[in-house]
Structure 1
Amino acid sequence: MDDTLARLPDAFSGKTVLVLGDVMLDRFVYGAVDRISPEAPVAVIAIERETTMLGGAGNVARNVAALGGKAVLAGLIGDDDAGRAVQALVEREPGLESALAVDPNRRTTEKTRYVAASHQMLRADREDRHPADPSLVLAAFEKALASADVVVLSDYAKGVLTPEVLAAAIAAARAAGKPVIVDPKSRDLSRYDGATVIKPNRREAAEATGVTGAGDEAAEAAGEAILSAAPNLSAALVTRGAAGMTLSRRGAAHVHLPASALEVFDVSGAGDTVAATLALSLAAGADLAAAARLANAAAGLVVGKLGTDVVTAGELKAVLTGAHGDPGQEKIAARERMLEIVAGWRARGLKVGFTNGCFDLLHPGHVSLLAQAKGACDRLVLGLNTDASVQRLKGPTRPVQKEDARAAVLASLSAVDLVTLFDEDTPLELITAIKPDVLVKGADYTVETVVGSDVVLANGGRVVLADLKAGQSTTALIARANTP
């Protein structure tokens, strides 16, 4: 990356992105299932906790704020509990400002996912998909437009971005000299004519143009078809997953950007990150090619993150300058952050495993145990005793390696998805907080003697006793090292 591109994230601060589109409340309901209803052959879920987050256009706004810009969120909510929850989330998020209009005749779009033992059992949607009142939508949009540097239209086909609203919003933004980025849902891309750049993924582009195929030639053909369908559209950026992105501009050669992720943990929310980065880059004065390159770098960073869907300007700049350091450090998290990541995994239906230990001198027995633990789950959290905890358990001469070094070594292993330190003598508090689906310890324990087994079993999880490699022990290693 050149120095000009690496300096772009510094210019995000002070830029305002007006996000207009379908705003949603994403609700996740977690519980345990241990019986079938006597009324019908369906599972009974005993609800334990709920979480909520901004979805749809709201997630684009969250990405803008995370990158250091200011996001103004425009759209419609109902006069209902879900609408009030959306407003509260916007007010709580730093860098977000509400331009939401309330339509008492329309319910707030709400998606509720019921999750048990890391499996999504059911999704229940509450929504009105009929066309919204354009006057309500446009009044809030036009009021916020003057202070915006760029506009994002986030279309989830829930009725807010009607043809009338799209035409008026694009015309108003163009008259004000504001670039317009569209994340489309409709197959009729002519609805978005006049925008600066449209950002479909490969599937959306194929559905809209009829051009299929995963290669560069197919991406170029899809880009040209999109520009033909919307003669006043400046560019199309087709996101292609593991194949990267293709930028098609009028009168210019196609630009193919290879995917930059070293390892993919989670693709959820990557499209919103791309839209937010494009918007802030254009607001900061970048041309479309530079903005696309920066958005591609941001996408590569966000899919390599654990259970989250935003990146910061600092993280993006570090990647661009090669100063991001050891990627394993992303796997080391304090308890609060760890719980956020685990919640993100569970929201996506992943099975969470847990094991723990001092791991003072890593040996083949440790590697085998961790491989078996990862084989029993989708994501493995490792609870690591702090130095003070190890000393209380093992004596004043231990640990041989300090906690930072032990955590770094463990985080470098592919079997380990997350490392978190605990200072207590046992990991019971940590296990109670995580409620893992799978708890793994060595076969020198019994299920009854594994700390936290009662918590896991009561929550519908299971305990796995991993086979041990004979003759492998940290204590034995230290003794041999000290033998003259």
Structure 2
Amino acid sequence: MNQITLGSVPRPDEPQPDLAAAVRRLAHTNVLVIGDVMLDRYTFGEVSRISLEAPVPILAIEREVALPGGAGNVVRNLTALGVATAFISVVGDDQAGSDLTGLVGGQPNVEPWLLVQGGRTTTLKTRLIAAGQQLLRADREQTDPIHPKLAERLLRIAMDAMAATSVTVLSDYGKGVLSADVPAKLVEAARTTGRKLIVDPRGSDFSRYAGADVVMPNRQELAAATHMPVDTEAQIVAAGQHLRAQHGFGAVVVTRGNDGMTLVDATGSQHFPAEAADVFDTSGAGDTALAALGAALAAQLDLPVAVRLANLAAGISVGKVGASVVREADLLSALTPQHSALRKIVTREEAVEQAERWRHRGWRVGFTNGHFDLLHQGHIALLEQARASCDRLIVGLNADTSVRRQKGSPHPVQPEAARAAVLASFACVDMVCLFEEDSPESLIEALRPDVLIKRANDAADDAVDADLVRGWGGRVLRIDLPREQLATMASLKV
């Protein structure tokens, strides 16, 4: 397999075909993840009053979300990239452990080995969130080392799983799975099976990971492990070189938040500036970077390319709200020239995440939908008035199969790709999202727009959509188009 080399870092507005090709190779890889899994619970609601019992806000709960966290979040990001993933961890025999087993097992392309230790408490983090802000986090956990017999079983399973995968990732959150001599034995097993091993370390004693191919500490962890200053890039490089020499690491990748990443290996050092356009939420960015690095090395990409992709993935992650993952489409979109209108055409998952980011900024999100086949003056008038009623406009576009079911052949006249591209070219349209269903109801429910825009003569057909939006406090706007424009739309049957 030919390796892709990085060369000079291209400007953001230049095409990057080599990196795009590298991204497409990630989905054809397999990775083993071993580490501390936890259950992340997010409770979303609205605060409108203060308690009479104590000076604390009262959260009126609207919805709750449970996701795998810790090493489980690394797995989520790998599967989002299309990577076949084996996962080994330990949970307790409690409700949180049972929930995690179901959540991890329900992900595509995952072979889970969640070992159960009786009497152990599964790590659970509960976050209360209102208006995009975290009010409180409550943790329940047990950080004692896992039982020695369970550690032996974990190592036996890991040996077999390493033989079936290309790269092993250790995600150490200090919760007891990678304790005592378990990391050292995993490094030895990786060498025996001829597999690369990457470590996201925890604590200041990096001798536990001696011999790993790549360690990925943040700036603070690097300082704690080396007792050296890390204020400047030169100091970070010196500390990284010391860490490599001290513990026999193949490479050290230092994550530096807003300052990007620095790679230190046998050839020297290389700095990768941060690639985040907006920063909304930094939680989980390290897991995202770790997953991208593991997938890239599994694809046999050169280390500088792998670090560049990990850095890019981290930049995308902090621009998302909540525990979102980075997908292949996100990476490819970030590598597309900024002026391309085609970046507005997104999947449902991407649309939901972008809508949340817009609301986080205080912007009103609008939604309208239709077939938009053979665009004409009436459509343009609808779109322009719709955009005037909100800060950002999402257009739901019926896919070809949906149009065909509703109108029969030869509709649609224009295929969905062409219709989406034309819509995306309008300045008044901020995002285009296709849907396969005949009704946009499920898309509207996922997006939760603040404003729903419809043509006035569609009132009877759109009652369900309108009720949905009003249910969460949104507004429904019906636009009266001039009679001649309605006549044109009717005559064209679009």
Give the structure-2-normalised TM-score: 0.70
Out of 158, 179, 187, the position equivalent to 1:144 is: 158
- Supply the distance in 2 between the matched residues of 1:114 and 1:331 (Cα, whole angstroms): 32
- In the other structure, the counterpart of 2:182 is 165
> Any idea what the Cα deviations from partners look like across 1:52-107, whole Å, max 9, x if unmatched?
22211012122333334322211210111111111112221121111221112211
Residues 132 and 273 of structure 1: CA distance in aligned 2, closer, same or farther (over 3 Å): same
Cα deviation, 1:449-478, whole Å, max 9, x if unaligned, reads xx988866764x57699xxxxxx9x969x9
How many Å separate the matches in 1 of 2:361 and 2:143?
27
User: Does the alignment pair 1:329 with 2:322?
Assistant: no
C-alpha distance 117-356 of structure 1, shift in aligned 2 (>3 A)? farther
Establish whether residue 122 from structure 1 lines up as the match of residue 140 from structure 2: no
User: How do 1:166-245 residues align onto structure 2 when only pairs under 5 Å count?
Assistant: 166-206=183-223, 208=225, 209-213=227-231, 216-228=233-245, 230-245=246-261
Equivalent of 2:365 in 350, 353, 374: 353
Q: Which residue of 2 aligns with 1:276?
A: 291
Match of 1:395 in 2: none
Give the whole-Å Cα distance in 1 for the aligned partners of 2:331 and 2:131.
Answer: 34
Q: Are 1:311 and 2:330 counterparts?
A: no
Give the Cα separation in 2 of the matches to 1:269 and 1:340: 18
SS in 2 for 1:146: helix
Any idea what SS the aligned residue of 2:391 has?
helix
Contact 1:75 1:137 in 2 (8 A): no
Tell me the distance in 2 between the aligned counterparts of 1:77 and 1:416.
Answer: 43
One-letter identity of the residue aligned with 1:354: G
5 Å-filtered alignment, 1:449-464, equals 459=472, 461=473
Q: CA deviation at 1:23?
A: 0.3
CA distance in 2, matches of 1:386, 1:414: 21
Question: In 2, distance between residues paired with 1:411 and 1:319?
Answer: 17
Kindly state the Cα deviation for residue 324 of structure 1 after the two structures are TM-superposed.
Answer: 11
Deviations, residues 168-196 of structure 1 (Å, cap 9, x unaligned) = 32233334333221112323333332211
| 8 Å CA contact 1:138, 1:169 repeated in 2 | no
> Any unmatched runs of 5+ in structure 1?
391-400, 443-450, 466-471, 479-484
Secondary structure at the counterpart of residue 65 of structure 1: helix
- Given that 1:25 and 1:53 are in contact with CA atoms closer than 8 Å, whether structure 2 keeps it comes out as yes
Partner of 1:111: 125
Deviation at 1:152, TM superposition (A): 0.9
AA aligned to 1:231 is H
Per-residue deviation, residues 398-448 of structure 1 (Å, max 9, x unmatched): xxx9986775566565994675679999x88765x2584844889xxxxxx
> 2:316·2:326 contact (CA, 8 Å) conserved in 1?
no
Decide whether the 8 Å contact of 2:383 with 2:428 is kept in 1. Answer: no
Structure 2 CA distance for aligned equivalents of residues 108 and 29 of structure 1: 19
- The 1:348–1:205 alpha-carbon spacing in structure 2 relative to 1, beyond 3 Å, is farther
**1:138 and 1:190 mapped to 2: Cα distance?**
21
Q: Report the TM-score, using the length of structure 1 for normalisation.
A: 0.71
Deviation at 1:327, TM superposition (A): 6.5
Distance 1:311 1:219, change over 3 A: farther
Identity among equivalent positions (%) equals: 39
Structure 1: distance between partners of 2:356 and 2:284: 11
* 2:79 is aligned with 1:65: yes
Distance 1:81 1:151 in 2: 29
Amino acid at match of 1:125: D
Q: Deviations over 1:29-72 (max 9, x none)?
A: 23344444443343433434322222110121223333343222
Task: Give the aligned partner of residue 22 of structure 1.
Answer: 36
| Distance (whole Å) between structure 2 residues aligned to residue 403 and residue 290 of structure 1 | 34
Aligned length: 460
1:341 aligns with 2:353: yes
* CA distance in 1: counterparts of 2:26 and 2:69, whole angstroms: 23
Secondary structure in structure 2 of the residue aligned to 1:39: coil
Match of 1:40 among 47, 54, 57: 54
Distance in 1 (CA, whole Å) between partners of 2:397 and 2:100 is 37
Structure 1 contact 118–346 (Cα < 8 Å) conserved:
no
CA–CA distance in structure 2, aligned partners of residues 365 and 357 of structure 1 = 10
Contact persistence 1:115–1:349 (CA under 8 A): no
Task: Say if 2:352 and 2:446, in contact at 8 Å, map to a contact too.
Answer: no
What does residue 303 of structure 2 align with? 288
2: CA distance, partners of 1:70 / 1:316: 18
Q: Which amino acid letter does the alignment assign opposite residue 254 of structure 2?
A: V
Quick check: 2:466–2:476 contact (8 Å CA) kept in 1? no
CA distance in 2, matches of 1:37, 1:111: 24
Structure 1 CA distance, aligned partners of 2:310 and 2:135?
34
The corresponding residue for 1:89 is: 103
- Counterpart-to-counterpart distance in 1, 2:209 and 2:387: 51
Cα distance per residue 1:199-242 (max 9 Å; x no partner) = 123454355455343x54344234234335x4322210112345
Write the letter of the residue equivalent to 1:211.
P
Structure 1 residue identity aligned to 2:294 = A
SS of the residue 2:248 aligns to = coil
- Give the direction of change, closer, same or farther, for the CA distance of 1:201–1:255 in structure 2 (3 Å limit): same
- 1:79 partnered with 2:93: yes
Q: How many Å separate the matches in 2 of 1:110 and 1:295?
A: 27
Quickly say closer, same or farther: Cα 1:373–1:225, change in 2 above 3 A: farther
Confirm or deny: 8 A CA contact 1:107 1:127 kept in the other structure.
yes
* TM-superposed deviation, 1:345: 5.3
Give the Cα separation in 2 of the matches to 1:240 and 1:55: 22
Q: Shift of residue 284 of structure 1?
A: 4.0
Post-superposition Cα deviations, 1:349-371, rounded to whole Å, max 9, x if no partner, equal 98773354789789899779858
Question: Which segment is superposed worse, 298-307 or 183-192?
Answer: 298-307
Indicate the SS of the match to 2:182.
helix
Tell me, yes or no, if structure 1 residue 52 matches structure 2 residue 70.
no
Does structure 1 conserve the Cα–Cα contact (< 8 Å) formed by 2:4 and 2:305? no
Residue 341 of structure 2 contacts residue 424 of structure 2 at CA under 8 Å; is this kept in 1? no
